[in-house]
Amino acid sequence: VNSVFGAAGTSIFEEMSRLSAETGSINLGQGFPEALEPEELIEAAIAALREGPHQYPPMMGIPALRKAVAENTQRFFGQGVDWEQEVLVTSGATEALTDAFFGLLDTGDEAIVIEPVYDAYNLLIRRAGAVPVPVRLEPPHWQLTADKLEAAITPRTKIIVLNTPMNPIGKIFDDNELVALRDVVLKHGLTIVSDEVYEHLVFDGARHRSPFFLPELRDRTVRIGSAGKTFSVTGWKVGYVTAEPHLLRPIARAHQFITFTTPPALQAAIAVGLALPDSYFDGLKAGLAERRDLLVAGLRAAGFAVDPAEATYFAVADRSGFAPEEDDLAFSRRLTLEAGVTPVPISSFYGKRDVTSRIRFCFAKRTETLNEAVRRLAAWR
């Protein structure tokens, strides 16, 4: 058993989902949507499965999907991307992250990660032989500054991993934060791996920003997306990378020995999805914002202070008013058992597990599911 994954234990998402299933609670822990997938996507997948092909597609991804990724980036973010040179299809964002870490990092390199951090990053970075170095964002402002980044830099620093919009806190890094990041990256000659799986889930007129969209950082940024989030099909595991050729090449090299390809019918369907009219993307945002408001109101009525989520499908609740002596994992378990509603604890997103005041709820659910969760929370209180 190797020391990285061997020591990792079960992921918090799996652990809380299992507890939820065992107890029949409403699972708002693990992030996955309920009944939001667009019909056109399902029809396109069925048609593609009927027609084939069923064999290994091109290693870089089918041209239709690579073109669609480039087109979607142009349409929504105004950025030209060369689909032949700058787009790679992967089996989910997780594979894209794996490819990026394995392709870009060498033994002993350091990778800065920003906490609260998605659990897979640290383990994959370690397994790539490198060392994750945390920069902590703390409630209630979760602010990233150049000073914080500078303090984490050493001669071994090679990459900074960014996640924007950010899981679990629903934050979009703003222009000032991106400028701070830019200055540090340019000063030290670093590369950014930017996990942007929630790029289309932004609310209230907020704008998704990426270092890839800054002219000075375009050639230093690996941008990662996921169809799982954009089309509410997390089980499909279709992701994509956009980066300039000198960065994409080593990542594609890793990809060819990790999964090599991604199911062609799913690629074809996601190409159709990315080309859906603006109304689909607007509807997704509006529908999620409505669900957010419903859950946030219910959480507030139940006594939680809730931080505003400007993006992603997560609401972070401050549970300081409830049993502060209990940690957030114990509280999450108790809420599951007593209220019948399951969150995930935010401490799981910190190496030291010491930020225990907050829990995360996923609001990408049917309205009826959210109404029932709110009813249960009110009854529990």
Specify the residue, 171 or 291, whose C-beta has the smaller distance to ligand PMP.
Answer: 171
Specify the residue, 171 or 333, whose C-beta has the smaller distance to ligand PMP.
Answer: 171
Specify the residue, 132 or 170, whose C-beta has the smaller distance to ligand GLN.
Answer: 170
Q: Residue 122 is which amino acid?
A: N
- Partner from ligand GLN, ligand PMP, none contacting 92, C-beta within 5 to 8 A by type: ligand PMP
Strands 358-362, 314-318: parallel, antiparallel or unpaired by DSSP?
Answer: antiparallel
Q: In which residue are the tokens 């002596």 written?
A: 325
Residues of this chain, 150-189, that bind ligand GLN according to CB under 6 A: 167
The reply on whether position 228 binds ligand PMP by CB under 6 A is yes
Using CB under 6 A as the binding criterion, the count of chain residues that bind ligand PMP stands at 14
Strands 26-27, 239-242: parallel, antiparallel or unpaired by DSSP?
Answer: unpaired
- Angle among Cα 219, 221, 225 to the nearest 5 degrees reads 130
- Partner from ligand PMP, ligand GLN, none contacting 163, C-beta within 5 to 8 A by type: ligand PMP
- Partner from ligand PMP, ligand GLN, none contacting 357, C-beta within 5 to 8 A by type: none
Residue length of the chain? 381
Q: Which residues partner with 134 through β-bridges?
A: 113
The reply on whether position 30 binds ligand GLN by CB under 6 A is yes
Specify the residue, 102 or 313, whose C-beta has the smaller distance to ligand GLN.
Answer: 313
Task: Give residue number: closest CB to ligand GLN.
Answer: 31
Strand, helix or coil for residue 340:
coil
SS3 for 141-170, per residue? CCCCCHHHHHHHCCCCEEEEEEECCECCCC
The reply on whether position 167 binds ligand PMP by CB under 6 A is yes
User: How far, in Å, CA of 124 to CA of 45, rounded?
Assistant: 31
Taking CB under 6 A as the criterion, the residue among 4, 8, 11, 303 binding ligand GLN is: 11
Strands, E, within 249-331: which ranges? 305-306, 314-318
What residues contact 226, with CB distance under 8 A and at least 6 apart?
92, 93, 96, 197, 238, 239, 240
Taking CB under 6 A as the criterion, the residue among 31, 33, 92, 298 binding ligand GLN is: 31
Specify the residue, 25 or 226, whose C-beta has the smaller distance to ligand PMP.
Answer: 226
The reply on whether position 336 binds ligand GLN by CB under 6 A is no
Shortest Å distance, C-beta 167 to ligand GLN: 5
User: How far, in Å, CA of 23 to CA of 17, rounded?
Assistant: 10
Taking CB under 6 A as the criterion, the residue among 29, 92, 103, 116 binding ligand PMP is: 92
Q: Which residues partner with 342 through β-bridges?
A: 27
- Partner from ligand PMP, ligand GLN, none contacting 11, C-beta within 5 to 8 A by type: ligand GLN
> Contact at 8 Å (CB) between 242 and 218?
no
Residues in contact with ligand GLN by the rule CB under 6 A: 11, 13, 30-31, 167
Residues in contact with ligand PMP by the rule CB under 6 A: 31, 92-94, 118, 163, 167, 195, 197, 226, 228, 234, 237, 239
